[in-house]
Homo-oligomer: A and B are copies of this chain.
């Protein structure tokens, strides 16, 4: 955990304001996977002068500057998939379109040997762009 968060932010091209430092101190080193509102709650306990909009702005900024990763499958929505057999998913980065990838196209090993977890199901989620002609 760095002593100097301001320096860390500056290195990424982010102006280190008090609010951003408070958010950074919590979110950059947590082991939890907090939602934006959870971040807001945590940081407000330390730094009460902090609006919700700033937390959202700051988190999005951190994601853009590669300090954080956003974990989400589709673009903020729950989607439904009628294909009940196991399969993988590919998400087109430009369009957000989700495509099914057949189970056998990819092989994954050592899942069942994972220590500490009973894995009931799994899938590979890929992101990138489609190389199709017709689209």
Chain A positions within 8 Å of B, measured between CB atoms, are 27-31, 33-36, 39, 59, 62-63, 66-74, 76-84, 89-90, 93, 97-98, 100-101, 105-111, 114, 116-132
Contacts and interface: CB of A to CB of B under 8 A. Distances in A.
How many copies of this chain does one complex carry?
2
Given A35-B74, A117-B126, 20 more contacts: A30-B82, A33-B79, A33-B98, A36-B77, A66-B84, A68-B81, A71-B89, A72-B78, A93-B120, A106-B110, A107-B109, A108-B108, A111-B124, A116-B130, A116-B131, A118-B128, A120-B127, A121-B128, A122-B124, A125-B125
A116 to B, nearest CB: 5
B129 A120 contact: yes
A101 B80 contact: no
18 contacts: A28-B82, A33-B97, A35-B78, A36-B80, A63-B80, A69-B82, A71-B79, A73-B125, A90-B117, A101-B114, A106-B108, A106-B109, A111-B126, A116-B132, A117-B130, A122-B125, A122-B127, A123-B124
